[in-house]
């Protein structure tokens, strides 16, 4: 004849089993309550100033149009997402005698409504730089590259003057300037 285990037949063991089930249910209820409190506290915790809007992950291509002048001028077109829809609005070959040694361009992003300069050099061993006087005279206005191309930071809403220089040697520079188109009433 088959006998049931003592755990199921002994009333003392049976009470212990019921208590263990209740305790396990209370344990999971306590875990769920603590998890809910943690989530609510994280949602209600104040945002540190370093993560506020000023240092957020917004870019020139994602901010509202009224914020673009502040977010876009003087910033990198690739980092800001503006190079994705960029088109060349001006192409000027750079010549050294009869030889084409580079290309100066003005690029435009319709999404960001920004413009920037880009240059290519075709001479091996030469350096190339781009300068936008509309960005001032500091580091944000001029870039030097030893690679075959260089690009500048952006200017919002108007076509800047772009100067591309190919540095051939210590005393030889080939420069091309593409004049900008400034809005009425602004210096440039």
pLDDT digits (tens, 9 = 90+) for 146-169: 899 999 999 998 999 999 999 988
pLDDT at res. 155: 94
C-alpha to C-alpha distance for 133 and 11, rounded to whole angstroms: 92
Which helix (H) or strand (E) segment is 12 a member of? helix 11-44
Between the CA of residue 41 and those of 32, 36, 127, what are the distances in Å?
Answer: 14, 9, 55
C-alpha to C-alpha distance for 13 and 6, rounded to whole angstroms: 8
Q: In what order do the strands lie in the sheet with 127-131?
A: 142-145, 127-131, 162-167, 173-178
Q: Domain locations in the chain?
A: 6-44, 54-178
pLDDT at res. 51: 41
Digit-coded pLDDT (tens) for 102-151: 999 999 999 999 999 999 999 998 999 999 998 988 777 888 998 999 99
Instruction: Say yes or no to pLDDT of 185 above 70.
Output: no
Instruction: Say yes or no to pLDDT of 21 above 80.
Output: no
């Amino acid at each position: 004849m088959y006998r049931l285990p003592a755990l199921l037949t002994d009333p003392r063991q049976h009470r212990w089993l019921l208590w263990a089930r209740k305790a396990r249910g209370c344990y999971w209820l306590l875990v769920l309550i603590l998890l809910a409190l943690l989530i609510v506290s994280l949602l209600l915790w104040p945002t540190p100033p370093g993560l506020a809007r000023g240092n957020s992950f917004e870019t020139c291509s994602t901010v509202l149009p009224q914020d673009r002048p502040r977010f876009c001028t003087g910033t990198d077109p690739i980092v800001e997402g503006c190079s994705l829809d960029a088109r060349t609005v001006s192409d000027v070959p750079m010549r050294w005698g009869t030889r084409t040694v580079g290309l100066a361009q003005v690029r435009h992003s319709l999404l960001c409504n920004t413009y920037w300069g880009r240059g290519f050099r075709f001479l091996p061993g030469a350096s190339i730089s781009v300068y936008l006087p509309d960005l001032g005279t500091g580091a944000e206005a001029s870039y030097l590259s030893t690679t075959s191309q260089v690009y500048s930071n952006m200017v919002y809403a108007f076509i800047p003057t772009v100067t591309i220089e190919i540095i051939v040697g210590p005393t030889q520079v080939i420069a091309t300037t593409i004049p900008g188109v400034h809005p009425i009433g602004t210096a440039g």
